[in-house]
Structure 1
Amino acid sequence: MAPPQELSTINSTSEPEPMLVLRNCPASACDIELKFQSLTDREFMIQVEAPNGEKSLMLHFPGAGCMRRFNPSKTGCGHGEWEIEVFAREEDGNYHKILTEELMADGTGSLFFTVGEDLQPVLESQVWAHLPKNASCRKYSFFSGDKRK
């Protein structure tokens, strides 16, 4: 089966009409979904950026049990680096960025993360989407509960 195709338009000075060009991409961003569930009573927000540059709205987690998801809707490749930013609500009532995680992902499917007291996303399960063994970022590990270490 052929990999998904990314469409882009190129304008040429010799051609009055735009030309459509196909590029191979192992995974369209809209075919990958990230789900997060809060396991803490601490209030926080998460923002996700897909490899195609699309950012989620701020995903608000007011307390334990709250679940949110991000599924990009813009055309573009989803293979590559995904960025997850975590913002904690501080005593002053404002949200402050406390963590930025980066992870490499490809394939299509769903990644499910839980967020505990430390507000660090931990990968709990994945359906179809592939994460290379070294997909953790430089400072923290998404796989703290995973046996891949």
Structure 2
Amino acid sequence: MKSLLSLIFLGIIVTAYGCNIIVHVQSETDKKFKAQVTAPNDQKSQRWAFSKKANRETFQQKASECGIGSWHILTFDDAGKQIADISVSLNGIGRVDYEVGDDLKPVQSYRQGAICTGQCAPLGHTPKPASRPSSPVGTSPPKA
């Protein structure tokens, strides 16, 4: 019985601290800049170069590599000078999206499934499909 409780407790700890996080960084500016994501275990993305709106890069931290602590989303101007270092705590299984505007500061714009502490977007939801016009029910097809 004691070993069963220990096993259950260990399972709860592993589940509570497990993570599989995907971080997207997207440009919302035509200014050139660079961005980099750093996970709590000091694993870093490449220093991505963005040159126009809608450029997007992705970094994924899998459970087998995950660490507990702060994530950093850094941005640099085209000359390489650091502009911002946004720090958040992320855990769980999910994704977060960051948008970088004309001020070159990353802002979390969307979050799904990830537990977040710091400057966090509200949890996302699945949007309802666009409504369609009602189909004609009980009407006869047009006569030819």
Structure 1: stretches of 5+ with no match in the other structure? 6-23, 137-141
**Equivalent in the alignment of 1:8:** none
Aligned-pair identity (%): 27
The number of equivalent residue pairs is: 113
> Do the aligned residues in 1 keep the contact of 2:16 with 2:92 (CA within 8 Å)?
no
**Equivalent in the alignment of 1:26:** 17
> Do the aligned residues in 2 keep the contact of 1:26 with 1:79 (CA within 8 Å)?
yes
Distance 1:4 1:68 in 2: 32
Counterpart amino acid of residue 72 in structure 1: Q
Structure 2: stretches of 5+ with no match in the other structure? 1-7, 123-144
Q: Would the alpha carbon gap of residues 60 and 3 (structure 1) be closer, same or farther in structure 2, given more than 3 Å must change?
A: farther
Q: Would the alpha carbon gap of residues 42 and 4 (structure 1) be closer, same or farther in structure 2, given more than 3 Å must change?
A: farther
Q: Given the two structures, how large is their TM-score scaled by the length of structure 2? A: 0.68
Q: Would the alpha carbon gap of residues 27 and 74 (structure 1) be closer, same or farther in structure 2, given more than 3 Å must change?
A: closer
**Counterpart check, 1:112 vs 2:91:** no
- 1:38-69 Cα shifts (integer Å, max 9, x gaps): 11000111111101110111122111111111
| Matching residue within 44, 47, 72 for 2:33 | 44
**Based on CA coordinates, which of the two structures has the bigger radius of gyration?**
2
> Do the aligned residues in 2 keep the contact of 1:25 with 1:79 (CA within 8 Å)?
no
Alpha-carbon distance, 1:96 to partner: 1.4
* Structure showing the higher helix proportion among its residues: 2
* Root mean square deviation, CA, Å: 2.4
